[in-house]
Amino acid sequence: MELRITGYDHPDAEKLTAAVQQEYVRRYGDMDLTEMRAEHFVDPQGIFVVGYLDGAPVACGGWRVKDGGHPHLRDGDAELKRMFVVPAARGRGLSRTLLRHLEELAGRAGRRRLVLETGTEQPEAVALYESEGYLPITKFGIYRDAPECICLGKELSAA
């Protein structure tokens, strides 16, 4: 898989993030209403990456700075957002490759911890994150009071 930093407003990123929103509708009954803006994913505030197989966009994900000014987060945090692989490309380890790439980029940018929100209706995501060393953290974000909400974090190695 070829990984490219595209920005959140790149047409391929927009296509994939629209698809992930439909995945949330299918699994939870509604789209994710978390505020997301393209400027959240512009270096040094964040990064958004699209993965390509044979020139076709098949995966996406990014991180954005979330320092201690946000409840239950701390200085040096980055929030992982919109991790997604199209159904036809699943089962090939692409999400793991993308996750490790995002962790590396966040570490290089001086981020000390990656945090994320996922949910009980995404067992594949939970299994991936746990297998990569993510541990439960205090819930944050707009879904922190939802029983389906799962928040995880991982300390990053210094680059």
User: 2 pLDDT exceeds 80?
Assistant: yes
75: containing domain: 2-111
List Cβ neighbours of 69 (8 Å cut-off, separation of 6 or more): none
What's the domain count of the chain? 1
The CB-side HSE value for 93 (13 A sphere, CA atoms) comes to: 5
Residue-wise burial string across 80-110, b where 16 or more C-beta atoms lie within 10 A, e elsewhere = bbbbbbbeebeeeebbeebbebbbebbbebe
24 within some domain? yes
CATH number, domain of 65, equals: 3.40.630.30
133 within some domain? no
What's the predicted TM-score (pTM) here? Answer: 0.95
State both tokens at 6.
Answer: 């595209």
82 within some domain? yes
65 within some domain? yes
Provide the greatest CA pair distance for the chain: 42
Q: pLDDT per residue over 43-82, tens digit each?
A: 999 999 999 999 999 999 999 999 878 888 999 999 999 9
